[in-house]
Amino acid sequence: MSTVNTVTEQLTRAGQAIEHDSFAIIDAEAGPHTYTEGQWPIVRRMIHANADFEFNGLTDFHPDAVEAGISAMLRGGTPVVADVEMICSGLSQPRLRYFGMGTHQFISDADVIALAQAEDTTRAVQAMRKAHKLGLLDGAIVGIGNAPTALIELVRLIRGESVRPALVVGMPVGFVSAAESKDLMAELDHVPWIVIRGRKGGSTLVVAALHALLSLAEARQKARA
C-alpha cells in the first residue's frame, strides 16, 4: 500500500512539483516557529495561499485541534458548515467526497434574510442559528472566514445551548469585531479551534486550513493501512 497521498495532492506531476517547491521555499524562509509537527503543515498551507508569512505566529491552535479535525474527517460523513458560499466553492469536492463529506451554508436563504431583517441581526447570525436548528453543528467542522458575527453567534450557541462542533476553524477577516470574535472563540477549552489572531483572515485561509487537514487525514489513513 502506497504511503503517498493520491487524493489530496495536485492531479499532475507538474502541479505537485510546483506545490512541493513552494512548501520547501516557505519552510526555508519562514524562520523559527513553535508549531507542532501536525500544526505546521496547516500554517504552511495558509502561508502558501496568501504569500503572507505573518500567519507564522498569528495562527493559534487549541491543543486538540489537529487531532480533532483528522478524527472527524476519518469518521466519514462529517459535515462542513460554512458562513459563506466562498468556502464551499473553494473546497475540493473530490477530496471531500473521498471522506464522504459535504458542505452547507445558508447565508443567502430567503428565510435567513427575512429573519435577519425582522430581528435586526446579520444574515450570518441567522445562518448559524439555522444550521443549529437543522442539527448540523454538533459533530461538524465549522469554517468561518468572512463574518465575525457568525463566529460570535457560534460561541453563544456553544456556551448557551451546548452545541458541540468537532472543530471550529474561525478566521473571519475585518475591522469590526473580527479580532474580538476570534479571541472569544479561543477562550473556549471544550471545543477545539484554529484561529488567526487579529484582523487578518478570510475564506481562502479557511479553505487552505481544511485542505491541509484533509491531507493529514489521508496520510493517517494510509499509515494505518
Burial class (CB in 10 A: 0-12, 13-18, 19+), 105: buried
Q: Residue 89 in contact with residue 113, Cβ under 8 Å?
A: no
Residue of 33, 48, 190, 211 marked active site: 48
Q: Is 48 among the residues known to form the active site?
A: yes
CB 111 within 8 A of CB 136: no
3-state secondary structure of 148: helix
Q: Which three cell numbers stand for residue 163?
A: 452545541
Q: Where are the alpha helices (DSSP H) in the chain?
A: 13-29, 40-50, 55-58, 65-75, 85-90, 93-98, 110-119, 123-133, 148-161, 178-186, 203-224
Cell numbers for 102: 459535504
In the DSSP assignment, the letter for residue 135 is: T
* Active site residue ranges: 48
